[in-house]
Structure 1
């Protein structure tokens, strides 16, 4: 879901530019922010709806295949 949210659009259009994009529940004024900053930056969350669609589609296909295997149905997903 982090790749589906255009945080810059929210800040610029909804907040009129009065804000900063947040990528976690720890804001820049939080006492824990400096501790988790490196971890947050490793994820490189950026608005990318096509990447998000690929991730979601892949996960749903894997879940569907597992469900089909559990019920013993031997048919390919279309």
Structure 2
């Protein structure tokens, strides 16, 4: 229940679009905890996978809101043109 409360707090603070990335970060945290507590030794593929996960989240969270808004506006304009053409 504590985890759900924390997750809903995160959704409230960041918004659902950004809070969903916790699902990508959770496995990385699990592997890091396994390294620390279980002496797990990940191979190159696991390190690459974790790097890709973290890089994708960083890239997604770094995307400026204005760029996202502009893309949505362009998509809406294209949809309106298609509707008028039909």
Q: TM-score range by the shorter chain?
A: 0.3 to 0.5
Name the structure where helix makes up a greater proportion of residues.
Answer: 2
Give the alignment's TM-score, normalised by structure 1.
Answer: 0.42
Give the alignment's TM-score, normalised by structure 2.
Answer: 0.39
